[in-house]
Structure 1
Amino acid sequence: MTSKPAASAGAHGGSAGGAEAVGVLTAAALGSWGLSALCAAGAGVTALSVASSLVIPAVAVKSVLRRTERITSADRVTLVRVALVGVLTAALVLTSMDELAARTWTVLIAALMATVLDAVDGWVARHVGTSTEAGARFDAEADAAALLVLSALLAMTVGWWVLLIGLMRYLFLAVSLIRPVWQRPSTFSRFRKAVAGFQATALVVGLAPVVPVVLATGLAAAALGALLLSFGRDVFALEREARTDGPAPGETQGQAG
Protein backbone atom coordinates (compact mmCIF):
# COMPACT_ATOMS: atom_id res chain seq x y z
CA MET A 1 0.00 0.00 0.00
CA THR A 2 2.76 2.47 0.88
CA SER A 3 4.79 1.71 -2.24
CA LYS A 4 2.03 2.67 -4.69
CA PRO A 5 1.81 6.38 -3.78
CA ALA A 6 5.59 6.63 -3.96
CA ALA A 7 5.59 5.09 -7.42
CA SER A 8 2.79 7.41 -8.50
CA ALA A 9 4.68 10.43 -7.23
CA GLY A 10 7.77 9.32 -9.07
CA ALA A 11 5.81 8.88 -12.27
CA HIS A 12 4.19 12.27 -11.90
CA GLY A 13 7.58 13.83 -11.23
CA GLY A 14 8.94 12.23 -14.38
CA SER A 15 6.13 13.58 -16.56
CA ALA A 16 6.52 17.05 -15.08
CA GLY A 17 10.24 16.85 -15.66
CA GLY A 18 9.59 15.90 -19.27
CA ALA A 19 7.37 18.94 -19.80
CA GLU A 20 9.97 21.22 -18.25
CA ALA A 21 12.67 19.61 -20.39
CA VAL A 22 10.83 20.46 -23.58
CA GLY A 23 10.22 23.98 -22.31
CA VAL A 24 13.82 24.78 -21.41
CA LEU A 25 15.24 23.34 -24.64
CA THR A 26 12.65 25.17 -26.73
CA ALA A 27 13.26 28.46 -24.91
CA ALA A 28 17.03 28.19 -25.38
CA ALA A 29 16.69 27.32 -29.06
CA LEU A 30 14.20 30.10 -29.80
CA GLY A 31 16.20 32.65 -27.83
CA SER A 32 19.43 31.82 -29.64
CA TRP A 33 17.66 31.79 -33.01
CA GLY A 34 16.19 35.22 -32.27
CA LEU A 35 19.60 36.54 -31.25
CA SER A 36 21.12 35.20 -34.46
CA ALA A 37 18.34 36.79 -36.51
CA LEU A 38 18.94 40.08 -34.73
CA CYS A 39 22.56 39.89 -35.87
CA ALA A 40 21.51 38.91 -39.41
CA ALA A 41 23.80 35.89 -39.11
CA GLY A 42 23.99 33.36 -41.93
CA ALA A 43 22.35 29.95 -41.83
CA GLY A 44 25.54 28.15 -40.82
CA VAL A 45 26.34 30.53 -37.97
CA THR A 46 22.72 30.44 -36.81
CA ALA A 47 22.73 26.65 -36.75
CA LEU A 48 25.96 26.66 -34.74
CA SER A 49 24.65 29.19 -32.24
CA VAL A 50 21.39 27.28 -31.76
CA ALA A 51 23.25 24.00 -31.32
CA SER A 52 25.62 25.55 -28.78
CA SER A 53 22.70 27.02 -26.85
CA LEU A 54 21.34 23.53 -26.23
CA VAL A 55 24.47 22.01 -24.66
CA ILE A 56 24.12 23.31 -21.09
CA PRO A 57 20.29 23.00 -21.04
CA ALA A 58 20.59 19.41 -22.30
CA VAL A 59 22.93 18.53 -19.43
CA ALA A 60 20.54 20.20 -16.98
CA VAL A 61 17.55 18.39 -18.45
CA LYS A 62 19.33 15.05 -18.14
CA SER A 63 19.99 15.79 -14.48
CA VAL A 64 16.32 16.58 -13.84
CA LEU A 65 14.97 13.57 -15.72
CA ARG A 66 17.21 11.19 -13.77
CA ARG A 67 15.55 12.15 -10.50
CA THR A 68 13.02 9.98 -8.75
CA GLU A 69 11.33 12.82 -6.87
CA ARG A 70 9.08 15.47 -8.37
CA ILE A 71 10.50 18.65 -9.79
CA THR A 72 9.98 21.63 -7.47
CA SER A 73 9.04 25.25 -8.03
CA ALA A 74 12.63 26.28 -7.27
CA ASP A 75 13.87 23.80 -9.88
CA ARG A 76 11.60 25.41 -12.46
CA VAL A 77 13.14 28.80 -11.73
CA THR A 78 16.60 27.27 -12.09
CA LEU A 79 15.59 25.77 -15.43
CA VAL A 80 14.54 29.20 -16.69
CA ARG A 81 17.98 30.43 -15.66
CA VAL A 82 19.57 27.51 -17.50
CA ALA A 83 17.68 28.47 -20.67
CA LEU A 84 19.07 32.00 -20.36
CA VAL A 85 22.57 30.57 -19.94
CA GLY A 86 21.96 28.68 -23.17
CA VAL A 87 21.13 31.94 -24.94
CA LEU A 88 24.28 33.50 -23.47
CA THR A 89 26.27 30.57 -24.84
CA ALA A 90 24.88 31.35 -28.28
CA ALA A 91 25.90 34.98 -27.75
CA LEU A 92 29.42 33.77 -26.98
CA VAL A 93 29.53 31.87 -30.28
CA LEU A 94 28.19 34.87 -32.21
CA THR A 95 30.71 37.16 -30.53
CA SER A 96 33.63 34.84 -31.29
CA MET A 97 32.57 34.85 -34.95
CA ASP A 98 32.32 38.65 -35.08
CA GLU A 99 28.56 38.56 -35.59
CA LEU A 100 27.84 40.28 -32.27
CA ALA A 101 29.63 42.96 -30.29
CA ALA A 102 31.41 41.78 -27.15
CA ARG A 103 29.13 43.94 -24.98
CA THR A 104 25.55 44.64 -26.00
CA TRP A 105 22.37 45.57 -24.17
CA THR A 106 20.67 42.37 -25.29
CA VAL A 107 23.38 40.20 -23.76
CA LEU A 108 23.44 42.37 -20.64
CA ILE A 109 19.69 41.95 -20.11
CA ALA A 110 19.93 38.17 -20.46
CA ALA A 111 22.90 38.07 -18.08
CA LEU A 112 21.11 40.29 -15.57
CA MET A 113 17.97 38.14 -15.67
CA ALA A 114 19.99 34.96 -15.14
CA THR A 115 21.79 36.53 -12.18
CA VAL A 116 18.59 37.80 -10.56
CA LEU A 117 16.94 34.40 -10.95
CA ASP A 118 19.85 32.88 -9.03
CA ALA A 119 18.54 34.69 -5.96
CA VAL A 120 14.91 33.95 -6.81
CA ASP A 121 15.23 30.16 -6.93
CA GLY A 122 16.84 30.09 -3.48
CA TRP A 123 14.11 32.34 -2.10
CA VAL A 124 11.41 30.12 -3.59
CA ALA A 125 13.03 26.98 -2.19
CA ARG A 126 13.13 28.44 1.33
CA HIS A 127 9.72 30.12 1.42
CA VAL A 128 7.69 27.48 -0.40
CA GLY A 129 9.32 24.68 1.56
CA THR A 130 10.68 22.86 -1.48
CA SER A 131 14.37 22.90 -0.55
CA THR A 132 15.96 19.55 -1.42
CA GLU A 133 19.50 18.21 -1.58
CA ALA A 134 19.08 17.43 -5.27
CA GLY A 135 17.77 20.92 -5.92
CA ALA A 136 20.73 22.48 -4.11
CA ARG A 137 23.16 20.46 -6.24
CA PHE A 138 21.25 21.41 -9.39
CA ASP A 139 21.38 25.09 -8.43
CA ALA A 140 25.13 24.87 -7.75
CA GLU A 141 25.80 23.34 -11.16
CA ALA A 142 23.66 26.02 -12.83
CA ASP A 143 25.67 28.66 -10.96
CA ALA A 144 28.95 27.17 -12.17
CA ALA A 145 27.77 26.99 -15.79
CA ALA A 146 26.52 30.59 -15.69
CA LEU A 147 29.81 31.87 -14.27
CA LEU A 148 31.78 30.01 -16.93
CA VAL A 149 29.76 31.51 -19.79
CA LEU A 150 29.70 35.01 -18.28
CA SER A 151 33.45 34.97 -17.69
CA ALA A 152 34.03 33.79 -21.27
CA LEU A 153 31.87 36.63 -22.59
CA LEU A 154 33.72 39.22 -20.53
CA ALA A 155 37.05 37.71 -21.57
CA MET A 156 36.35 38.99 -25.06
CA THR A 157 36.75 42.50 -23.66
CA VAL A 158 39.20 42.38 -20.74
CA GLY A 159 41.33 39.31 -21.49
CA TRP A 160 41.22 35.56 -21.20
CA TRP A 161 42.52 35.55 -17.62
CA VAL A 162 38.92 36.26 -16.57
CA LEU A 163 38.07 32.67 -17.51
CA LEU A 164 39.72 31.62 -14.25
CA ILE A 165 36.59 32.85 -12.48
CA GLY A 166 34.42 30.40 -14.38
CA LEU A 167 36.97 27.58 -14.37
CA MET A 168 37.86 27.71 -10.68
CA ARG A 169 35.15 25.35 -9.45
CA TYR A 170 35.91 22.81 -12.18
CA LEU A 171 39.63 22.98 -11.36
CA PHE A 172 38.77 22.42 -7.70
CA LEU A 173 36.69 19.37 -8.60
CA ALA A 174 39.47 18.02 -10.81
CA VAL A 175 42.05 18.31 -8.01
CA SER A 176 39.62 16.67 -5.58
CA LEU A 177 39.84 13.50 -7.67
CA ILE A 178 43.46 13.08 -6.59
CA ARG A 179 43.01 14.79 -3.22
CA PRO A 180 39.81 13.20 -1.82
CA VAL A 181 39.79 15.29 1.37
CA TRP A 182 38.69 18.18 -0.84
CA GLN A 183 35.49 16.26 -1.51
CA ARG A 184 34.34 16.73 2.07
CA PRO A 185 31.38 19.10 2.48
CA SER A 186 32.42 22.60 3.45
CA THR A 187 30.74 24.33 6.36
CA PHE A 188 28.50 27.31 5.61
CA SER A 189 30.46 30.51 5.09
CA ARG A 190 29.02 34.00 4.78
CA PHE A 191 32.26 35.06 3.15
CA ARG A 192 31.92 32.38 0.46
CA LYS A 193 28.32 33.42 -0.17
CA ALA A 194 29.30 37.08 -0.41
CA VAL A 195 32.10 36.29 -2.85
CA ALA A 196 29.71 34.26 -5.02
CA GLY A 197 27.35 37.20 -5.24
CA PHE A 198 30.15 39.68 -5.88
CA GLN A 199 31.75 37.72 -8.69
CA ALA A 200 28.45 37.32 -10.55
CA THR A 201 27.69 41.02 -10.11
CA ALA A 202 31.17 42.02 -11.27
CA LEU A 203 30.84 39.95 -14.44
CA VAL A 204 27.41 41.34 -15.28
CA VAL A 205 28.44 44.94 -14.63
CA GLY A 206 31.53 44.39 -16.76
CA LEU A 207 29.31 43.35 -19.67
CA ALA A 208 27.43 46.67 -19.63
CA PRO A 209 28.28 48.69 -22.76
CA VAL A 210 28.43 51.95 -20.78
CA VAL A 211 30.98 50.67 -18.26
CA PRO A 212 34.55 51.71 -19.13
CA VAL A 213 36.81 48.78 -19.97
CA VAL A 214 39.25 49.80 -17.25
CA LEU A 215 36.47 49.61 -14.65
CA ALA A 216 35.25 46.26 -16.00
CA THR A 217 38.82 44.98 -15.78
CA GLY A 218 39.22 46.22 -12.22
CA LEU A 219 35.96 44.64 -11.09
CA ALA A 220 36.85 41.33 -12.71
CA ALA A 221 40.30 41.37 -11.12
CA ALA A 222 38.80 42.09 -7.70
CA ALA A 223 36.29 39.26 -8.19
CA LEU A 224 39.05 36.84 -9.15
CA GLY A 225 41.14 37.87 -6.16
CA ALA A 226 38.20 37.38 -3.79
CA LEU A 227 37.43 34.01 -5.37
CA LEU A 228 41.02 32.82 -4.96
CA LEU A 229 40.91 33.90 -1.32
CA SER A 230 37.60 32.09 -0.80
CA PHE A 231 38.87 28.86 -2.31
CA GLY A 232 42.10 29.22 -0.35
CA ARG A 233 40.15 29.49 2.90
CA ASP A 234 38.10 26.42 2.03
CA VAL A 235 41.16 24.36 1.11
CA PHE A 236 42.94 25.40 4.30
CA ALA A 237 39.90 24.42 6.39
CA LEU A 238 39.55 21.05 4.63
CA GLU A 239 43.23 20.23 5.02
CA ARG A 240 43.18 21.24 8.68
CA GLU A 241 40.10 19.09 9.25
CA ALA A 242 41.81 16.14 7.57
CA ARG A 243 44.88 16.51 9.79
CA THR A 244 42.76 16.81 12.92
CA ASP A 245 40.20 14.07 12.27
CA GLY A 246 42.26 11.78 10.06
CA PRO A 247 41.14 10.40 6.69
CA ALA A 248 37.50 9.47 6.31
CA PRO A 249 36.61 5.99 5.00
CA GLY A 250 37.63 5.73 1.36
CA GLU A 251 39.92 8.78 1.33
CA THR A 252 43.14 6.86 1.88
CA GLN A 253 42.19 4.36 -0.80
CA GLY A 254 41.29 7.18 -3.17
CA GLN A 255 44.67 8.83 -2.67
CA ALA A 256 46.47 5.57 -3.25
CA GLY A 257 44.53 5.03 -6.48
Structure 2
Amino acid sequence: MYLQSPLPTSPGATLPLDRQQTAAAVLQLVLLGALTAAAGLGPAGWLAGAAYAAGLHTLLGGAARRARAAALGPADLVTLGRAVLIGGVTALVVDGFVAAPAAVVPLVGLASVALALDFVDGRVARRTGTASALGARFDMEADAFLVLVLSVQVAAVTGPWVLVIGGLRYAFVAAGRLLPWLTGSLPARFSAKAVAAAQGIVLVVAAAGVLPVLAAGALVALALAALLWSFGRDTLLLYRRRA
Protein backbone atom coordinates (compact mmCIF):
# COMPACT_ATOMS: atom_id res chain seq x y z
CA MET A 1 0.00 0.00 0.00
CA TYR A 2 1.38 3.41 -0.96
CA LEU A 3 1.99 6.07 1.63
CA GLN A 4 -0.91 8.50 1.41
CA SER A 5 0.04 10.97 4.14
CA PRO A 6 1.92 14.16 3.23
CA LEU A 7 5.24 12.87 4.50
CA PRO A 8 8.33 14.65 3.21
CA THR A 9 10.11 13.01 0.33
CA SER A 10 13.89 12.96 0.58
CA PRO A 11 15.61 15.21 -1.96
CA GLY A 12 16.64 13.30 -5.04
CA ALA A 13 14.17 10.47 -4.49
CA THR A 14 12.20 9.50 -7.58
CA LEU A 15 10.06 6.61 -6.28
CA PRO A 16 7.96 6.26 -3.13
CA LEU A 17 9.27 4.09 -0.34
CA ASP A 18 7.23 0.98 -1.11
CA ARG A 19 8.37 0.93 -4.74
CA GLN A 20 11.98 1.38 -3.70
CA GLN A 21 11.64 -1.53 -1.32
CA THR A 22 9.89 -3.66 -3.93
CA ALA A 23 12.73 -3.00 -6.36
CA ALA A 24 15.23 -4.05 -3.67
CA ALA A 25 13.29 -7.26 -3.03
CA VAL A 26 13.30 -8.07 -6.74
CA LEU A 27 17.04 -7.42 -6.93
CA GLN A 28 17.53 -9.71 -3.95
CA LEU A 29 15.73 -12.53 -5.74
CA VAL A 30 17.73 -11.89 -8.91
CA LEU A 31 20.96 -12.05 -6.91
CA LEU A 32 19.89 -15.31 -5.26
CA GLY A 33 19.12 -16.71 -8.69
CA ALA A 34 22.53 -15.65 -9.97
CA LEU A 35 24.21 -17.28 -6.98
CA THR A 36 22.25 -20.46 -7.67
CA ALA A 37 23.56 -20.56 -11.22
CA ALA A 38 27.12 -19.50 -10.43
CA ALA A 39 27.74 -20.98 -6.99
CA GLY A 40 25.12 -23.71 -6.59
CA LEU A 41 23.16 -21.93 -3.87
CA GLY A 42 20.79 -24.46 -2.32
CA PRO A 43 17.40 -24.37 -0.56
CA ALA A 44 18.91 -23.33 2.78
CA GLY A 45 20.58 -20.35 1.14
CA TRP A 46 17.36 -19.38 -0.60
CA LEU A 47 15.42 -19.62 2.65
CA ALA A 48 18.00 -17.49 4.47
CA GLY A 49 18.07 -14.93 1.66
CA ALA A 50 14.29 -14.70 1.52
CA ALA A 51 14.02 -14.36 5.30
CA TYR A 52 16.67 -11.65 5.22
CA ALA A 53 14.83 -9.75 2.47
CA ALA A 54 11.56 -9.96 4.40
CA GLY A 55 13.22 -8.72 7.58
CA LEU A 56 14.91 -5.86 5.73
CA HIS A 57 11.62 -4.82 4.15
CA THR A 58 9.79 -4.82 7.48
CA LEU A 59 12.44 -3.12 9.61
CA LEU A 60 13.41 -0.49 7.07
CA GLY A 61 9.80 0.31 6.26
CA GLY A 62 8.97 0.74 9.93
CA ALA A 63 12.02 2.92 10.57
CA ALA A 64 11.25 5.13 7.56
CA ARG A 65 7.67 5.65 8.64
CA ARG A 66 8.72 6.52 12.19
CA ALA A 67 11.14 9.05 10.68
CA ARG A 68 8.28 10.37 8.50
CA ALA A 69 10.26 9.77 5.31
CA ALA A 70 8.11 8.98 2.27
CA ALA A 71 11.12 7.77 0.27
CA LEU A 72 14.80 7.00 0.61
CA GLY A 73 17.25 9.60 -0.63
CA PRO A 74 20.23 8.97 -2.95
CA ALA A 75 22.65 7.99 -0.18
CA ASP A 76 20.07 5.70 1.42
CA LEU A 77 19.57 3.97 -1.92
CA VAL A 78 23.30 3.23 -2.03
CA THR A 79 22.97 1.70 1.44
CA LEU A 80 19.93 -0.26 0.24
CA GLY A 81 22.06 -1.65 -2.58
CA ARG A 82 24.67 -2.63 0.00
CA ALA A 83 21.94 -4.34 2.01
CA VAL A 84 20.98 -6.44 -1.02
CA LEU A 85 24.60 -7.57 -1.42
CA ILE A 86 24.72 -8.42 2.29
CA GLY A 87 21.65 -10.59 1.73
CA GLY A 88 23.66 -12.54 -0.83
CA VAL A 89 26.53 -12.96 1.63
CA THR A 90 24.08 -14.16 4.26
CA ALA A 91 22.59 -16.73 1.90
CA LEU A 92 26.03 -18.09 1.00
CA VAL A 93 27.17 -18.35 4.61
CA VAL A 94 24.00 -20.16 5.75
CA ASP A 95 24.08 -22.48 2.74
CA GLY A 96 27.71 -23.29 3.49
CA PHE A 97 26.83 -24.50 6.97
CA VAL A 98 23.93 -26.66 5.83
CA ALA A 99 25.24 -28.02 2.53
CA ALA A 100 28.65 -27.77 0.86
CA PRO A 101 31.19 -25.19 2.08
CA ALA A 102 30.31 -21.67 0.97
CA ALA A 103 31.68 -20.57 -2.38
CA VAL A 104 34.52 -18.28 -1.32
CA VAL A 105 34.91 -16.23 -4.51
CA PRO A 106 31.32 -14.89 -4.73
CA LEU A 107 31.14 -14.48 -0.95
CA VAL A 108 34.32 -12.41 -0.80
CA GLY A 109 33.34 -10.52 -3.94
CA LEU A 110 29.93 -9.49 -2.63
CA ALA A 111 31.29 -8.60 0.81
CA SER A 112 34.13 -6.55 -0.71
CA VAL A 113 31.75 -4.52 -2.88
CA ALA A 114 29.45 -3.97 0.10
CA LEU A 115 32.39 -2.69 2.15
CA ALA A 116 33.60 -0.47 -0.68
CA LEU A 117 30.16 1.10 -1.06
CA ASP A 118 30.27 2.00 2.62
CA PHE A 119 32.69 4.76 1.62
CA VAL A 120 30.31 5.96 -1.08
CA ASP A 121 26.99 6.52 0.67
CA GLY A 122 28.43 9.05 3.12
CA ARG A 123 29.91 11.12 0.30
CA VAL A 124 26.66 10.97 -1.62
CA ALA A 125 24.76 12.17 1.45
CA ARG A 126 27.08 15.13 1.92
CA ARG A 127 27.16 16.13 -1.74
CA THR A 128 23.38 15.95 -2.15
CA GLY A 129 22.58 17.41 1.26
CA THR A 130 20.46 14.39 2.17
CA ALA A 131 22.20 13.25 5.36
CA SER A 132 19.67 12.11 7.96
CA ALA A 133 19.40 10.21 11.22
CA LEU A 134 17.54 7.46 9.36
CA GLY A 135 20.31 7.12 6.79
CA ALA A 136 23.02 7.06 9.46
CA ARG A 137 21.17 4.34 11.41
CA PHE A 138 20.51 2.30 8.27
CA ASP A 139 24.19 2.48 7.33
CA MET A 140 25.27 1.45 10.84
CA GLU A 141 22.88 -1.50 10.97
CA ALA A 142 24.00 -2.71 7.54
CA ASP A 143 27.64 -2.58 8.64
CA ALA A 144 26.90 -4.40 11.89
CA PHE A 145 24.99 -7.21 10.20
CA LEU A 146 27.67 -7.73 7.55
CA VAL A 147 30.32 -8.01 10.27
CA LEU A 148 28.11 -10.48 12.15
CA VAL A 149 27.65 -12.70 9.09
CA LEU A 150 31.35 -12.56 8.19
CA SER A 151 32.31 -13.45 11.75
CA VAL A 152 30.12 -16.56 11.49
CA GLN A 153 31.92 -17.53 8.28
CA VAL A 154 35.39 -16.97 9.73
CA ALA A 155 34.52 -18.69 13.03
CA ALA A 156 34.20 -21.97 11.15
CA VAL A 157 37.92 -21.78 10.39
CA THR A 158 39.56 -19.91 13.26
CA GLY A 159 37.24 -20.80 16.13
CA PRO A 160 34.02 -19.60 17.79
CA TRP A 161 35.81 -16.77 19.61
CA VAL A 162 35.57 -14.75 16.38
CA LEU A 163 31.82 -14.46 16.98
CA VAL A 164 32.63 -11.88 19.65
CA ILE A 165 33.44 -9.43 16.83
CA GLY A 166 30.02 -9.82 15.27
CA GLY A 167 28.08 -10.04 18.51
CA LEU A 168 29.73 -7.32 20.58
CA ARG A 169 27.70 -4.45 19.16
CA TYR A 170 24.41 -6.33 19.66
CA ALA A 171 25.44 -7.24 23.21
CA PHE A 172 26.16 -3.56 23.86
CA VAL A 173 22.71 -2.58 22.61
CA ALA A 174 21.08 -5.30 24.73
CA ALA A 175 23.01 -4.14 27.80
CA GLY A 176 21.70 -0.63 27.20
CA ARG A 177 18.18 -1.87 27.93
CA LEU A 178 19.30 -2.89 31.41
CA LEU A 179 21.74 -0.02 31.96
CA PRO A 180 20.23 3.13 30.41
CA TRP A 181 23.46 5.10 30.83
CA LEU A 182 24.95 2.95 28.04
CA THR A 183 22.56 4.64 25.58
CA GLY A 184 24.11 8.07 26.07
CA SER A 185 25.63 10.02 23.19
CA LEU A 186 29.29 9.63 22.30
CA PRO A 187 31.63 12.07 20.58
CA ALA A 188 32.54 11.33 16.98
CA ARG A 189 36.02 9.83 16.91
CA PHE A 190 38.08 8.92 13.86
CA SER A 191 39.70 6.08 15.81
CA ALA A 192 36.30 4.50 16.50
CA LYS A 193 35.35 4.71 12.83
CA ALA A 194 38.71 3.26 11.78
CA VAL A 195 38.41 0.34 14.20
CA ALA A 196 34.85 -0.38 13.02
CA ALA A 197 35.88 -0.29 9.35
CA ALA A 198 38.85 -2.54 10.01
CA GLN A 199 36.61 -5.34 11.32
CA GLY A 200 34.92 -5.92 7.97
CA ILE A 201 38.17 -5.68 6.01
CA VAL A 202 39.99 -8.11 8.29
CA LEU A 203 37.12 -10.60 8.24
CA VAL A 204 36.95 -10.52 4.44
CA VAL A 205 40.68 -11.19 4.23
CA ALA A 206 40.34 -14.07 6.68
CA ALA A 207 37.32 -15.47 4.81
CA ALA A 208 39.18 -15.31 1.49
CA GLY A 209 41.66 -17.93 2.69
CA VAL A 210 44.65 -16.07 1.23
CA LEU A 211 46.53 -16.30 4.54
CA PRO A 212 47.61 -19.36 6.53
CA VAL A 213 45.15 -20.23 9.28
CA LEU A 214 47.50 -19.09 12.05
CA ALA A 215 48.21 -15.78 10.33
CA ALA A 216 44.51 -15.19 9.68
CA GLY A 217 43.72 -16.01 13.31
CA ALA A 218 46.38 -13.58 14.54
CA LEU A 219 45.06 -10.82 12.26
CA VAL A 220 41.49 -11.35 13.45
CA ALA A 221 42.69 -11.41 17.07
CA LEU A 222 44.33 -8.01 16.59
CA ALA A 223 41.09 -6.66 15.11
CA LEU A 224 39.14 -8.04 18.07
CA ALA A 225 41.59 -6.48 20.53
CA ALA A 226 41.16 -3.10 18.85
CA LEU A 227 37.38 -3.50 18.96
CA LEU A 228 37.39 -4.40 22.65
CA TRP A 229 39.58 -1.36 23.35
CA SER A 230 37.18 0.90 21.43
CA PHE A 231 34.09 -0.45 23.19
CA GLY A 232 35.84 -0.36 26.55
CA ARG A 233 36.80 3.28 26.10
CA ASP A 234 33.25 4.22 25.11
CA THR A 235 31.79 2.29 28.02
CA LEU A 236 34.11 4.00 30.48
CA LEU A 237 33.21 7.42 29.09
CA LEU A 238 29.49 6.69 29.31
CA TYR A 239 29.90 5.39 32.86
CA ARG A 240 31.62 8.59 33.93
CA ARG A 241 28.79 10.62 32.37
CA ARG A 242 25.97 8.48 33.80
CA ALA A 243 24.89 11.12 36.33
1:7 is matched with which residue? 6
CA RMSD of aligned residues (A): 2.2
In the alignment, does 2:146 pair up with 1:156?
Answer: no
In structure 1, the partner of 2:192 is: 192
Q: Residues 52-67 of structure 1 correspond to what in structure 2 (within 5 A)?
A: 52-66=48-62, 67=64
Task: Give the aligned residue type for 2:188.
Answer: F
Which residue of the partner structure matches residue 94 of structure 1?
95
| Contact residue 17 and residue 64 of structure 1 kept, 8 A | no
Matched residue SS, 1:207: helix
In the alignment, the residues of structure 1 paired with residue 94 and residue 138 of structure 2 have an alpha-carbon distance, to the nearest angstrom, of: 25
SS in structure 1 at match of 2:178: coil
1:26, 1:181 → 2: CA distance?
A: 41
Are the aligned partners of 1:85 and 1:114 in contact in 2 as well (CA < 8 Å)?
A: yes
What SS class does the counterpart of residue 111 from structure 1 fall into?
helix
Q: 1:10 to 1:51 in 2, by over 3 A?
A: same
Instruction: Quote how far apart the aligned CAs of 1:15 are.
Output: 5.2
Tell me if structure 2 keeps the 8 A contact 1:162–1:220. yes
Alignment of structure 1 residues 1-257 onto 2, 5 Å: 7=6, 9=8, 16-40=16-40, 46-66=42-62, 67=64, 68-69=68-69, 70-101=71-102, 104-242=104-242, 246=243
Post-superposition CA distance 1:220-256 (Å, at most 9, x none): 11111111110000000000111xxx2xxxxxxxxxx
1:11 & 1:232 partners in 2: Cα distance? 37
- Map Cα deviations across residues 103-153 of structure 1 (whole Å, 9 max, x no partner): 611111111001111111111111221100111111111111111111111
Query: Structure 1 vs Structure 2: percent identity of aligned residues?
Result: 34
Scaled by the length of structure 1, the TM-score of the pair is 0.83
Which of the two has higher C-alpha Rg? Answer: 1
Unmatched tracts of structure 2, length 5 or more? none
What is the TM-score of this pair, normalised by structure 2? 0.88
- Relative to structure 1, the CA distance from residue 109 to residue 127 in structure 2 (aligned partners, 3 Å threshold; closer, same or farther) is same
Compared with structure 1, are the counterparts of its residues 216 and 23 closer, same or farther at alpha carbon in structure 2 (3 Å cutoff)?
Answer: farther
Displacement of 1:97: 2.2
Shift of residue 11, structure 1, vs aligned partner: 11
How many residue pairs were aligned?
233
In the superposition, relative to structure 1, how do residues 176 and 16 fare at CA in structure 2: closer, same or farther (>3 Å)? same
Give 1:10 deviation, angstroms: 5.2
